[in-house]
Structures are given as structure tokens and as C-alpha cells.
Homo-oligomer: A and B are copies of this chain.
Amino acid sequence: MKDKRCVVLLSGGLDSAVTLYFAKKSGFDCSCVSFDYGQRHKRELTSAKKIADAAGCPLRVIKIDMGWGGSSLVDKKMAIPQKPSGSKKIPSTYVPGRNIIFLSFALSFAEVIGAEAIFIGAHAQDYSGYPDCRPEFYKAFSKVIKTGTKAGVENRKISVETPLINKTKAQIIKLGARLGVPFGLTWSCYRGGTSPCGKCDSCHYRNKGFKEAGLIDG
């Protein structure tokens, strides 16, 4: 058992897989957490299990009710956008409060198991403009940890680690390749069929990233 423990938010996608391998490489004993929140691409949870197994880390899947919709990622009556719009508008795949809820659970779990860090694979660049993927949000959440937990009050630090935050998708893919991430096990497509649609934002950025990194996906 390593003496540094962390919680890794593992969605089953490429970014969180790279983040898990990065945390492991940084010497952490990693406990992974995934969420079954009614996402259209629930298939990513199968990927999360395979990735956690490949990394030799335990995974806890937390089922949560976000039944009030408000996002094309959970509401099947809303359409998934076909491609990046190019506008600065936040896309319909934004799930209100999602990363805040995910981090809150990870924080509770981290406090109970005595973890000193929470790793999340968010990145601000080269992405879809989600407010909860920006550095200022993670800074604000750190203040919540400091003020709203027993750990914070007792000066036991639980940090929020966002190792990918300023990287482009191509840089993330290159980093993952160096760390030996099993890209073939990861799932990015928002639609969640049997094979990626190649058209949604998430597929678009993944394909572009591999191309720019000069690497083959899979």
C-alpha cells in the first residue's frame, strides 16, 4: 500500500483515463469513482470498469438521480449537437451542476478514506465551453473544501488536482501514450451506440486530437 491516497473521477472517457494513469505515476494509491446519472452514453461505465481493472485500481459506481433533465446528455427528447458550433455558447450537452455534484461525492468519499487529493480530468482548452471545466471553478471548489469539511477545518488538505486543465486534446493524448493508457478501452462518444458516431463534439475533438498528436486511436 502506498502512503498517498487519492480519489480519481473516472468517466470511462479518454481524459479521465489519462488522469488516472497520471495520478498512479505520481505515486498515489488511487480509488476510482464513476457515476451512473442517467447519461445517454451509459456504455462509458463499462469502459470505466475496464480501465480501472487495467490500472489495478478499485472502482465505485455511484448511482445518482438527476431526473430533472436540462441537458441533451440525459434527456433523450433533446438532440445531441452534430458538431462543434464554433460559437462561444455553452452547448446543450452541458449538464447543470454535474461536475459540482461529482466533486461533492468524491470529496465525501475522500474525507472518509483519508485521501489527500481528488483528481479530475477537466480541461479548459480545446473543449466545449463548459463552465465547470475552468480553473476558476476548481479554485472556488477548493475553498468549499477548506471551509465546509472537517478535514478543511482541521487543516488536513484535500486538494483538487486538474493535471490536464491547460492541455490541448493532442497534448493529453501524447501524455496518455507516454503513460501507457489503454486508449482502446476508453469511450468518448456522447451517443453511446455500439461504435462512436464520429459527429458529436466529443468524437470530433477526440479524432482531431489523435490526428494532431500524430497517433492512431485504439
Residues of A within 8 A of B (CB): 60, 62-66, 68-70, 90, 94-101, 103-105, 107-109, 111-113, 131-132, 134, 136-137, 139-141, 143-144, 146-153
- Measured between beta carbons, the chain B residues less than 8 angstroms from A107 are 96-97, 100
7 contacts between A and B (CB under 8 A): A70-B111, A99-B148, A101-B105, A131-B149, A134-B147, A140-B147, A141-B144
Known: A96-B150, A97-B148, A101-B104. 19 other contacts (CB 8 A): A64-B64, A66-B105, A68-B112, A68-B113, A70-B112, A97-B111, A97-B149, A100-B107, A100-B108, A100-B144, A101-B105, A104-B104, A131-B149, A131-B150, A131-B153, A139-B147, A140-B144, A140-B147, A141-B148
From A98, A104, A113, residue with most partner B Cβ within 10 Å: A104
Number of copies: 2
Closest 10 A/B residue pairs (Cβ): A97-B108, A70-B112, A96-B111, A137-B148, A140-B143, A137-B147, A132-B148, A101-B104, A104-B104, A100-B104
Check if B153 sits within 8 Å of A147, measured CB to CB: no
- Measured between beta carbons, the chain B residues less than 8 angstroms from A146 are 140
Classify the interface of chain A: helix, strand, loop or mixed: helix
Q: A65's contact among B62, B132, B136, by CB below 8 Å, is which?
A: B62
Report the separation of the CA atoms of residues A118 and B131 in the bound assembly, to the nearest whole angstrom: 20
Report the separation of the CA atoms of residues A66 and B113 in the bound assembly, to the nearest whole angstrom: 13
Q: A149's contact among B68, B96, B152, B153, by CB below 8 Å, is which?
A: B96
